[in-house]
Amino acid sequence: MVARPSLLDWEVMLSKDNEYRGFVVVALLAIVFTGVQLVYNGSLTPHEHSWTIWRSLASPTGMWVADATLVGSMFVAIGLVKLLVSDCISRATFRLLHFVWISTWVGTALWWSWVAQWDWLPTIFFVLHTFCMLCKHYAYLAGNSELYDYSIELRQLKRDLAVIASHASEHHDDDAAIVHSIEARVEELESVLYASKVVFPQNVTVANFVDYLLIPRLVYNLDYPRTDGIRWDYLLGKVAGFAMSFAFLYMDIEFCIMPVLNRLTTLSFTGAVINLIMPMMVAYMMVFVIIFEFILNAFAEVTCYADRAFYEDWWNCVNFAEFARKWNRPVHEFLLRHVYLSALRTGRISKSTAAFITFFLSSVAHEVVMIWASKRWSLWLFAMQMSQLPLIWAANLPFMRGHIILGNAFFWFGLAVGPPLLMIAYLRDHFL
């Protein structure tokens, strides 16, 4: 299978079929020239740069030990699923163990990062990685639990068909409709459990779990679309792109953002926001490209994962609800399947309430990252994310729906002003 490329993949952007490839080349050269300019100007005033970001990245040996322990402990999930599929424990017991283990695991990880007193940058990395692995951890246990339920249902339906077949002479007209319904459900379940190369419960192995951990998706499936092999030139290009983008991000933070933050006490609130808008916008875009274009594509290439649609055209969004769906598809798919749809399956929650719960949990997770990084309960990010709800409502008004460009401009204004406001709010809480 041929890989489905991401929208901003170099193979797409620099393709001879792309009429705007010249602008892409100019943009790349502009990034290089800007980086050279930043380094040159920074070398003229070395006393203004403390290189705190570099020291923060280089120092936390304990963080890497904690991160390795975090990932290694996830293999307990295989044992829990083995107990379930081997019928050693009941479904209710598995649910209890699932809840206790996940709670203990994430609680220990967060406690470790809180008491370790790492700098803010390694703390943010560790907590984000914890939440990423939490999603994978939960999805693996919940996904296999769902497959187990399907296998139990399939066995029961086959027994029912056998019973009906044993009384074939007593069949009535209604029985034919029942048999047809059962056979349709059996076919549906078998397509889920046995249609792929990996079948349940033979999937419950260390190799399958490692493969799932490396695949850049948070939702667990028995199998995924695959390419024919690794393209080493493509992988090398992604590694080189990561290095270049990370270097530019570092220069942007060191030479454009940190000087403003170091003078925060002498700047007015308005002056600080104005000086941070463009550097923060550049940093935001670089972080997006590094994660979704280079890191995820590199992992996809290593695992031969074919579907590279990790994001959609979020830059054309007209409201933040659309942005939440498009800019991070792996997280969106996880929240959709394991939070939103799970809430709806209870039968006691409406769609609007399920959507609110999903949005609320996402806001809480984002705020936890900031609390752990700043060691303060400021709740600025939580408040700003929850304030998107009335903005989403306003964006759905007939006037806004009829003015797409206006909605997109409003979206970009919020994206440009929001990060500087958050940065200043948290730093003023911390230092003032």
Q: Does 316 map to a domain?
A: no
β-strand partners of 307: 4
Q: Give the residue numbers annotated as catalytic, written as ranges.
A: 366
d(CA 176, CA 413): 62
Whether residue 134 sits in one domain with residue 33: no
Long-range contacts of 83-87 (CB under 8 A, 24+ apart): 84/144, 84/145, 84/148, 85/144, 85/148, 85/151, 85/200, 85/201, 85/204
My answer on whether 128 and 194 are in the same domain is yes
Residues 253 and 206 in one domain: no
* 93 and 235, same domain (yes or no): no
200 occurs within a structural domain: yes
Range of the domain at 285: 15-48+230-303
The low-confidence residues of the chain, meaning pLDDT below 50, are: none
Query: Do 212 and 258 belong together in one domain?
Result: no
The span from the CA of 120 to the CA of 419, in Å, is 17
Residue ending a domain, among 199, 224, 249, is 224
| Last residue in a domain, options 288, 303, 318 | 303
| CB contact at 8 A, 127 and 119 | no
Residue 299, Cβ neighbours under 10 Å: how many?
A: 17
Residue 260 belongs to some domain of the structure = yes
CA angle 354, 191, 138 (to 5 degrees): 40
Q: Are residues 216 and 254 in the same domain?
A: no
Q: Does 288 fall in a domain?
A: yes
- Does residue 429 belong to any structural domain of this protein? no
73 and 95 part of one domain:
yes
**Domain final residue, candidates 303, 331, 360:** 303
pLDDT at 209: 95
Domain total in the chain: 2
Query: Do 146 and 262 lie in a common domain?
Result: no
Q: What is the pTM of this model?
A: 0.88
Are 271 and 125 part of one and the same domain? no
Residues 156 and 252 in one domain: no
Asked whether residue 115 falls in the same domain as residue 37, the answer is: no
The answer to whether residue 255 sits within a structural domain is yes
Establish if 180 belongs to a structural domain. Answer: yes
Residue 279 and residue 193 in one domain: no
pLDDT at 141: 94
Query: Residue 280: which of 73, 424, 163, 68 has the closest Cα?
Result: 424
78 within a domain of the structure (yes/no): yes
